[in-house]
Amino acid sequence: MPGFASSGDQKRPVRLLTAALSSGNLPHALLFTGIEGIGKKTTAMAFAMACNCFNLHEGYQTKQPDAEITEPTHIEPCGQCRSCKKIISGNHPDIILLQPSGAMIKVDQIRALCSKLVLKPYEASKRFVIITDAQKLNLEAGNTLLKTLEEPPEHTVFILTALQAADILPTIVSRCQQIRFNPIPFHSLQTYIEKNHGLGASDASVIASMSQGSFTRAESMMKPTWINKRNWIIDELEALPTRSINLCLAFSEVLSKNKGWLLPAFEIMKNWFRDIVIYNYAPERIINKDLSAQINIAAKKTTINVLILKIKAIDKAEREINANSNIRLTLDSLMLTLSKG
């Protein structure tokens, strides 16, 4: 599904971009900001496609997945013409995608880009330069890019994407029109998960809640074992107060060996205790909706004060590990705190 329809229901950005296209008044440089995995790059590609499509047509965005749609809300590229097909296959010579090489975007990458921009576009009416993760421009690369932005080449639109404008050189930001992207609405994400991964409404709802509006987070949870891992972590957490110290430390040992899983595991733990806190007041707001019976039982066995202490202890462990403290020692200490009933 090429075009704006794949942008994850980013209504406002799509409206602003298609209005600029309709008016024929395209900005030289745009900065798309927002958390990872919410369709910034996809929308940039859709915009490049729309600006060069030979057969633009009307498109629709809906409030709810099953809501009736009557009025077109924006314009869409066709996805079928020569230009669209080249962009979709990544073979359009005038749609230039620049991504970090390793941890940074280096000055050599920007210099190579600038030497291409001296020439006229090969075939596009509008050439696009899409720079993703622009917060990774190092200082030299940023300053080199700035010179180009100050004297922009003809028929060229720059789109930078970043988590937030504050991470980028202010002189670059001031050259760009900023468009903020919001997290994907819950229902859009749930529908996406149901359609693309064949999950039932209940499981899709849990994944959509936990991914906090990010396609990328949802995708990483979608690996078939995610629900199993969540269940395992929650079962272990609930068993901790009845376990010997050795068994509590065994849990932290297993977690410490799966470093890629540590941050998701912390999220799962905090969401679990948070669900127990709010269950008695607002049961409709729990995240682990499929576990409401288990949450009900857990809520009867503890107090809010104990739960808040546990959530704070997880936050503290997370901060310490992010600051490079010893993972095993931090987790051991956390498990001993969480084992107090």
Which residues bind to Zn ion, rule: CB under 5 A? 53, 77-78, 81, 84
Q: How far is the CB of 47 from Zn ion (least distance, A)?
A: 13
Question: Taking the complex as a whole, how short is the minimal distance between the CB of residue 55 and Zn ion, in angstroms?
Answer: 5
Token pair 């690996």 is found at 223
Question: Residue 157: in which H helix or E strand, if any?
Answer: strand 156-162
**Any long-range contacts for 180-183 (C-beta under 8 Å, 24+ apart)?**
180/12, 180/13, 180/33, 180/34, 181/10, 181/13, 181/32, 181/33, 181/34, 181/38, 181/39, 181/40, 181/43, 182/10, 182/12, 182/34, 182/38, 182/213, 183/34, 183/35, 183/38, 183/212, 183/213, 183/214
**Minimum distance from residue 107 beta carbon to Zn ion (Å):** 35
Complex with Zn ion: residue 92 or 230, whichever CB lies closer: 92
Q: Dihedrals φ, ψ of 5, to 5°?
A: -60, -20
Closer CB to Zn ion, 53 or 129, in the complex: 53
Q: By C-beta, is 45 or 137 nearer to Zn ion?
A: 45
Closer to Zn ion by Cβ: residue 81 or 336? 81
Q: Which two tokens stand for residue 196?
A: 């693309």
Please give the sequence-ordered ranges of beta strands (E in DSSP) within 163-312, or none if there are none: 177-180
Calculate the alpha carbon distances from 259 to 256, 326, 331 in Å.
Answer: 6, 12, 12
CA distance from start to end of the chain: 50
CB 48, min distance to Zn ion, A: 11
Rounded CA gap, 238 and 241, in Å?
A: 7
> Given the complex with Zn ion, which of 38 and 53 has the nearer CB atom?
53
Dihedral angle computed from the Cα positions of residues 89, 95, 101 and 103, in that order, rounded to the nearest 10 degrees: -100
Using the structure block, give the residue that is written with the tokens 């019976």.
293
Q: What DSSP string runs through 26-43? A: --SEEEEE-STTSSHHHH
Closer CB to Zn ion, 48 or 295, in the complex: 48
Got the DSSP string for 319-332?
A: HHHHTT--HHHHHH
Residue with smaller CB distance to Zn ion, 56 or 145: 56
81/163 with CB nearer Zn ion: 81
CB atoms within 10 A of CB 198: 9
Q: How far is the CB of 95 from Zn ion (least distance, A)?
A: 13
Helices (H) and strands (E) in the chain, counts: 15, 7
C-beta of 83: minimal distance to Zn ion in Å? 6
Minimum CB distance to Zn ion, residue 132 (Å):
23
Q: Which is nearer to Zn ion, 46 or 145 (CB)?
A: 46
Nearest distance from C-beta of residue 85 to Zn ion, angstroms: 8
